[in-house]
Amino acid sequence: LARALGRHGVEVALATMGAPLSTQQRQEVAAVPGLALYESHYRLEWMEDPWEDVYRAGDWLLELEEELAPDVIHLNSYVHGALPWRAPVMVVGHSCVLSWWQAVKGEPAPPSWDRYRREVQAGLQAADLVLAPTRSMLAALDEYYGPLETTGVVPNGIARSEENSSPQPKERMVLTAGRVWDEAKNVSALEAVAPRLHWPVYVAGEDHHPDGGRACPQNVNYLGYLPRKSLRQWYRRAAIYALPARYEPFGLSALEAATEGCALVLGDIPSLREVWQDAALYVPPNDNAALQRALSGLMANPSRRAMLAARAQARARYFSPERMATGYLVAYCRLITGEGLPTVKVLGRSVPQRA
């Protein structure tokens, strides 16, 4: 987003929290013109016992605003929306614990999350504008923390790889990628069906939970965490990308896979239906037999596999960085002036999201 905004003359100050940036992430930041990095390691609002860090982070963010004098505050988490900002505030909801819990656990979040609920609601209610990458995610925010007055949807976007102008032959494999420890990704379903498939299943992603503990994938070929460039090569190789998710507010990994020509098998949830329409196969997240049938059917049917891959790749072109940047530019300018496209500076807070 910062790179695409930079092409419109927008300067971005990126304030990060949570885990330290990787070497690759630092290199990517350094390569974006007009992007300044301000890094911290405060705990995030969805982590265990985060509140002291959350409040200290708020003080730090207000100091940054005083120093930088941005035109817009763009937050990718919720609680700090309630700070006494001088500039207009946009909060973008990429996931939340309450909707995650209902989707993954099948029941409301327990009382131990009541403080989170109150703090998130206060942040959302104080924001001048609330956005989400899908209508489904926006509806969830309104259900759990609303009613929200001024809202909108700006889908995510990614750049097409320069390498896929000459695509390589696909290999007989199934790939999935994401945080392996997150129950929402439903890697366990792939673990369950993998022994009954004719093709190998590969899993890429972080296995260590930020609050401790580790996931240990079984019956699959576990690749571990892969840098972006390495993961892109796996997307290019895999004939099928499977994401039988229970909860996925947008599904960036599916977009990355579709861009590289994978046929998609996805969890049948509203957000993924909204994004992919008829460009994927859908399976109920808790129906392992349906997942096995869908994967086996595609493995046995090259023409259908190619058709779905072509549909997904065509659909992926809609979700471009330029379209995303235009959506955010319109939102920024409405916050500032209500009209026009002035040159703006944005203080963006970026944190790892739960899903």
Domain that holds residue 85: 2-157+320-350
List, for the chain, all residue ranges whose pLDDT scores fall below the cut of 70. 162-166, 338-355
What the block records as the tokens of 226 is: 């892969």
Provide the pLDDT for residue 118. Answer: 98
Is residue 72, in this structure, part of any structural domain at all?
yes
Q: Are 166 and 312 members of one domain?
A: yes
pLDDT at 22: 85
Confidence (pLDDT) at 166: 63
Residue-wise DSSP of 299-348: HT-HHHHHHHHHHHHHHHTTS-HHHHHHHHHHHHHHHHTSSS----EEEE
What does the pLDDT read at residue 209?
84
Co-location of 31 and 129 in the same domain = yes
Q: Are residues 33 and 110 in the same domain?
A: yes
Burial class (CB in 10 A: 0-12, 13-18, 19+), 314: exposed
Q: What is the tens place of the pLDDT at every residue in 252-275?
A: 999 999 999 999 999 999 999 999
Give residue 351's pLDDT: 45
The pair phi, psi for residue 70, each rounded to 5°, is: -70, 160
| 92 and 233 within one domain | no
Q: Are residues 33 and 147 in the same domain?
A: yes
- Supply the pTM of this predicted model: 0.92
Residue 52 tokens read as 């002291």
152 lies in the same domain as 178: no
pLDDT of residue 354: 38
List the structure tokens of 76: 């990718």
Encoded tokens for 145: 């923390």
Residues paired with residue 281 on neighbouring β-strands, in sequence order = 265
Same domain, residue pair 174 and 306: yes
Identify the three-state secondary structure at position 42.
coil
Pairing of strands 129-132, 89-92: parallel
